[in-house]
Amino acid sequence: MHKPLIRSGPSAFRRCVGVLAVAVAAGAGAVASLPAAAQAGTASRVAAASSSYAFSTLDNQNDPTFNQLLGINSHNVISGYFGSGATGHPNKGYLINAPYGQANYVNENFPNSAQTQVVGLNNLGDTTGFWVDANGTNHGFVEWNGVFESFNNPKTPAMKGSVNQLLGINNNGVAVGFYNDAKGNAHAYEVNQATSVYTAITIPGAVSATATGINNNGDIAGFATDASKVTSSWLLHAGHLTTYQFPGGNTTEAFGVNDKDQIVGSYLDGSGNMHGFVLSSPLGPTSHWQTIDDPHGVGTTTVNGINDAGDLVGFYTDSAGNTDGMLAMPNTAYLQLQAMPSGTVSFGTDGSGHLTATVNAFGLTPGSSHTVQLRLGNTVVTQFSTLTANSVGQASATLDSTFSGSAPNGSRLVVLNGVKAQNAVSGEVIAETPNVNEGGPTGTLPLTGIVFNSQGTGFGIPAGAASVTYSPSAKTLTVNVTASGVTPGFHAAHIHLGSCQSQGPVQYMLNDFTANSSGQIVNETRHVTGVTSGIPATGWYLNLHQGTSQNILKNGQPTIFFRPLLCASL
């Protein structure tokens, strides 16, 4: 996670960048009066829930190292931002529409802001969040009917770096959030965007309180910290307050609520690990808690938003330390298809002063062999020794050449589909590095899949998006694909066991997808029947091939046409 600049309880509120304030005309903040008998109500019976989810990682490639998804509405539009907030990586807000490919991200930033986070959105498409000015001051905002307006609670201290954030909005234009007082304690409030009337939300016994979500019934969720530094979630329903703590957990923070009063957020377990949660039927008679852990970020998962269909958004930290956006949908996975093969290349010299290339790649045809060349424009500078993939499509080798010295400025390494250009297909370039900078390479270069047809026409870097949906009632899988940068014609596709990094056998065959004359597959859907179990959390991947279902195999073994073009791990 990025370093927190705001705190509103014992743990840093995870949807924060900086600090806030600006005086905006507002009505008097009337303190909400809560009946004493309802202030500490807690649901008396608790049961575990066991819904199954399909998890998808959605990262805006403008900064694939840091994304947080914060809200989702009933039209499956998601709000969030990229950028950690560190120097050179400012928060930049966005919305994203299904099918959630890179082309479906839409930037949304408060005009002239230094940083913006889009936190909440309603079913009308209006959004809320906060923006940061050049002085590091946070201001809440609402974007209503395409018009941005800044909001700051009038009780916010008038000082540089003050904090004011709006975190949720409903269809009636009521937004909720908090401001920090001079001591840094949070105070929850709601504001009507049409009238600019602010209303305080008081949580009895709280030293610090934050309102994070509001549904279309006017119910408000949030979290509060008491004098003993215990943080609990709360729901304000029809003037009655109920507080919650995850059974056996602590530091339970609610971040969102839907019209069914399902609450989502995070909690810490006894070892200090963070987990997301969904709380259903919080008012009873039986409450249902469920832990949510993204399979790629167990112990680091936060759930920030939920829509009425029960779709979840949030984020997790992966094994590389990156913060990734998370979408969890019942039995549906959205995928970002990536060009194959993929990997890295670094240059060196051997004991004789000859140029070497160390290649680490995956997504090659299993068991295949490849000519590797250094090219300057279309001229071959040198040819390296042969690159060979193992049985799961991986290759890791240092390749020799007879070229003395460093790689020339402007040259690039290319990988061919086969060896010795025996025919047009084997001579096609399937991957290349960027051009070497002047003075020779100084580090590791990316190796990226690229597509040329047999006549040498380039179609660029393949890209696309897909969705995989399981229907338990119909026992079907539905696969929808939109892609570009592939050769025109038919392309075999399968759902395999394994991953893009370690290819495995076919689990389900799909009818070939068809690319048009521009190399595009446009919103094509395929169905698989007789599927008796849902989408697993891990262990499947979707693979589109160069060739057709008729020519990618011979005697059960991959042919030159098997070459993977696009892949995504589920």
Q: Of 370-374, 423-427, 440-444, 465-469, give the range with the top mean pLDDT.
A: 370-374
Has residue 440 got a pLDDT over 70?
no
Residue 63 pLDDT more than 90?
yes
Work out the average pLDDT over 336-340.
93
Q: How far apart are CA 243 and CA 222, in angstroms?
A: 10
More confident residue, 499 or 333: 499
Long-range pairs, 418-424, Cβ under 8 A, ≥24? 418/368, 418/369, 418/370, 418/371, 418/560, 419/369, 419/370, 419/371, 419/386, 420/371, 421/371, 423/560, 424/454, 424/455
Split at pLDDT 50, 70, 90, the class of 483 is very high
The mean per-residue pLDDT over the stretch 541-545 comes to 96
pLDDT tens column, 72-102: 999 999 999 999 999 999 999 999 998 898 9
**Is the torsion defined by CA of 156, 315, 251, 199 positive or negative?**
positive
CA 250 vs. chain centroid, Å, equals 26
What value, to the nearest 5°, has the Cα angle with vertex 126 and ends 125 and 130? 135
Task: State residue 298's pLDDT score.
Answer: 84
Give the per-residue pLDDT at 16: 44
pLDDT band at 421 (very low <50, low <70, confident <90, very high): low
Q: Contact at 8 Å (CB) between 517 and 477?
A: no
* Radius of gyration for the alpha carbons in the chain, expressed in angstroms and rounded: 27
Q: pLDDT grade, residue 4 (50/70/90)?
A: very low
| Residue range 346-355, pLDDT digits in tens | 999 999 999 9
**Dihedral angle of Cα 155, 157, 162, 167, to the nearest 10 degrees:** -10
Task: Give residue 17's pLDDT band: very low, low, confident or very high (50, 70, 90).
Answer: very low
Residue 465 has which token pair? 């998006």
* Residue 271 near residue 249 (C-beta atoms within 8 A): no
Percent of the chain with pLDDT over 90: 77
- Amino acid identity at 537: A
Q: If you count them, how many residues does the chain have?
A: 570
Per-residue pLDDT averaged across 206-219, rounded?
98
At 37 the pLDDT is: 25
Q: Which domains does the chain have, with CATH numbers?
A: 30-330 (2.120.10.30), 341-458 (2.60.40.200), 460-569 (2.60.40.200)
State the pLDDT at residue 454.
62
Q: Which two tokens stand for residue 445?
A: 């270069």
- The segment with the largest mean pLDDT, out of 98-107, 180-189, 474-483, is 180-189
CA distances from 296 to 57, 93, 268 (A): 9, 24, 18
Mean model confidence pLDDT for the chain: 88
Question: CB burial class (10 A; 0-12, 13-18, 19+) of residue 25?
Answer: exposed
Tokens 């971040």 label which residue?
255
Instruction: State the Cα–Cα distance between residues 310 and 144, nearest whole angstrom.
Output: 25
- CA separation for the pair 87, 392 (Å, rounded): 40
pLDDT of residue 457: 72
Q: What is the mean pLDDT of residues 452-456?
A: 68
Q: Considering only residues 325 and 51, tell me which one the structure prediction assigns the higher pLDDT.
A: 325
pLDDT of residue 98: 86
> Over 90: is that where the pLDDT of 441 sits?
no
The whole-model pTM stands at 0.69
Lowest mean pLDDT across 21-30, 114-123, 281-290, 524-533: 21-30
Other CB atoms within a 10 A radius of the CB of residue 260 amount to 17
Mean pLDDT score, 33-57: 48
Q: Please compute the mean of the pLDDT values over residues 377-403 and round it to a whole number.
A: 96
The pLDDT, as a whole number, for residue 23 is 22
**Rounded Cα–Cα distance for residues 330 and 377 (Å):** 49
Asked whether residue 43 carries a pLDDT value surpassing 90, the answer given is no
**pLDDT(40) > 50:** no
Q: Does pLDDT of 331 surpass 70?
A: yes
- Bigger pLDDT: 454 vs 68: 68
Interatomic CA distance for residues 514 and 520, integer angstroms: 8
Both tokens of residue 517? 């004359």
For residue 421, which phi and psi values (nearest 5 degrees)?
A: 45, 50
Give the pLDDT score at 297.
93
The answer to whether 166 and 177 have CB atoms below 8 angstroms apart is yes
Sheet order of strands, 355-362 included:
379-383, 372-376, 412-416, 429-432, 445-449, 342-349, 355-362, 395-399
Residue 422 — very low, low, confident or very high, per pLDDT cuts 50/70/90?
low
Distance CA 198, CA 189 (A): 7
The answer on pLDDT for 20 being more than 90 is no
pLDDT band of residue 438 (cuts 50, 70, 90) is low
Nearest to 529, CA basis, from 459, 478, 455, 461: 478
Specify the pLDDT at position 334: 83
Instruction: List, in sequence order, every residue forming a beta bridge with 250; answer none if it has no partner.
Output: 268
157: preceding bond cis by omega (within 30 degrees): no
Which among 407, 396, 401, 398 is positioned nearest to 441, based on CA atoms? 407
Q: Which two tokens stand for residue 69?
A: 């998804």
Amino acid at 319: S
- Residue 558 corresponds to which tokens in the numbers above? 């991959």
In this prediction, residue 36 carries a pLDDT of: 26
Within 13 A of 207's CA, how many CA atoms are on the CB side?
14
> Which residue is associated with the tokens 């709380």?
279
- Which amino acid is located at 143 in the chain? E
pLDDT(494) > 50 = yes
Higher pLDDT: 474 or 556? It is: 556
